Amino acid sequence: MSTRAQIRFATREEGVTFNEKPEQIHAQFYCHSDGYPEGLGVEIAESLTKYGKITNWEIEELHTRHGDLEYIYYIWQSPGPERKSTWISIFEKISWTEHQWECIFVGEPQKLIDKYKTNTNDDG
């Protein structure tokens, strides 16, 4: 069984918290399988910290919504000279009938790796 997820990119802005879904996103991708935090979450975090390659993503239109997602990831970045660190938020679907989501993680990429990667040696 596949664990489907969307990955959305948002801009860090004053007054927008990481544990709420933002109104605007700038790019969106779909991942059909292994979308759980120990898989996709760690892959995203390692790409940001170790420049690891990410596979099996599909680019989507910004308005595309899926009814079968289990996770939505937000990668929060800040353009410009202030160079704020990148943060990640993970939302998990908690109710299929009411389409309710719960924020289960907020933090910088290394914090995600520390929390979800089961084997942290160099061999993975």
The pLDDT score that the predictor gives to residue 55 is 83
Q: Which sequence spans correspond to the domains of the chain? A: 5-116
**pLDDT over threshold 90, residue 46:** yes
Read off the DSSP letter of residue 81.
Answer: T
**pLDDT over threshold 60, residue 124:** no
Strands of 57-60's sheet in order across = 57-60, 27-31, 5-11, 71-77, 87-95, 100-107
**Chain Cα centroid distance, residue 97:** 23
Write the pLDDT tens digit of every residue in 25-43: 999 999 999 999 999 999 9
Residues 66, 55: Cα–Cα separation, whole Å: 20
Write the pLDDT tens digit of every residue in 61-85: 998 988 889 999 999 998 877 778 9
**Contact yes or no for 42/122 (Cβ under 8 A):** no
